[in-house]
Chains A and B, each alone.
Chain A
C-alpha cells in the first residue's frame, strides 16, 4: 500500500508538514530550552531581568568568564551525589516492572482463559485504584510502615508501586490475551500440550507487544512517581524525582536550583535512550498485537 500510496496534493502536504513542525516545536522546545539553560547560572536561566540573558548567558559570563558552565551538573552529580538517586530509580523501576509484568502476564492469561467474567471487576478495581489520589493512600501507609520498621527502604516502595499499578496492568494484559483466539492454545492442547506448555510455546512468542506496552506504562509510573517515593523513602534511598524536588526545596540556596535543572536534563536522558530503543518494538508491537486481534 505504502508504495502505491496516491500522491497527496501539495497543499495538504504543506499542511501536514506545517502541523507536524508546529507540534514538534510545542513538544520539544521546552526541553531543548532546558538543556540549553542547564549550562547557565540561575539568574540567566530564570532571566527575570531580561529574557535574552537566557540565550546569551550574561550573568554566566560575569561569574565564570564564559557563556556555559557545567557547575549545575558538577553540583548535582558530584556534590549532591545524584548518582545514588539514579541507581535507586534503576532498582525501583527494574523490580517494579519485572514483578508487575510477571504477575500480570500469568494472571492475565489465567483469567482470560478461565471463562468467568473477571474482566469487568478487574476493570472496576483498576479504576477505583487509579481514581484514588496516591497521597491519600500514602498517608494511610505511613503509620503501619513506621511501626513495622519497613519505612524508608526500597522493597517497600517497590511493593506499593506494584500494588497500585497491578490492577491496571492486569486488566490491560487480560484484554490483550482475550484478543488472542482461544483456538490457538486449544489446538496446541489437542496436539498434546499441557496448558502450561501451550502458554509457553504458543502464547509467549506472540505476547510481547502487549507485554511491552504494559511494561512501558508501569515503567513510566515507577520512573516518574513523586507522591509515593517522596513520602516512603528515606533520604539515602530517594529516587530521582523526589531528589530533584529536594534540590528546589522550600528555601532554595544559591545554585541549588541549577542542580535541579541539570538533574532534570540528566533524568530525561535514560528516557531518551529507552524510547529510542523501544519505539520500533512499541509501535510495531502495538500494530502486530492489534492485527492478531
Chain B
C-alpha cells in the first residue's frame, strides 16, 4: 500500500547499488560488460532514465485508446475489505467537513463558480465495478459511483482541447492527468463506494476514479481542479513515478 511507499521514499533514483555488480555479480558475462562503469548516483544515468520516462509517457498516450473500456467485474469479485492507501497512514486520514466543502474550478474553463456538495450530488451518476491497480503491483476490485467526469467538464465549459487537468486535495496530495483520460467514459467523480457515501478513508467527499490509470493517479478528497496546458506534475510523479501511468 502507499503507506508502505513512504518507507521507500529516498533520493530520486538512489544509488544503483554498485556493490551488487562489484561484489556479488549476478552474471559473469554482464559483469565483464559493466566493469569500469560507475553507475552510482550518476547524474547522466538519472537524466537518461528521466527522459526514458518522458518517452514512456508519449508511448502510453499513443497506446491509449479513448474508447477502450477497462474490464468490469461481477459484485462477487469485489475485494473486501478494499485496502486503504495513501502517502500517510490510516490514523492520519483527513476529515473534510461536508457543509464547508467547496470544489474550486479554475484555468481554461468558462464557469469558475465553486461547487457545493448538494449540487455535485444532484448530477446524474453511473456505477462501475473495476480493478484498482497499485504502482506497487497489488490490485483490488471495488464498486464506485458518481457522475462522469466528462459530463462535469462539459457543464463547467472546460476547454477540452487543453492538455492537462490538475487536482489539489484536502490531504495536500496533488496530481494531474491528460485530457484524453479525463474524457474517458469510465473516469468518474466517485461520491460513493459500495453504494454508500464515500468514507473518509477512500477520499470523502470524492475521489476521481480512473480505471485506466494506476491507483496513485486517482486523487482523493479533491478540493480544486484546473484545466491547463502546463503539466502540473504530482506528489509521486515529482518524486520519480511515471507521469502517465496508464493501464
Chains A and B form a bound pair: no
Enumerate chain A interface residues (CB-CB to B < 8 A): none
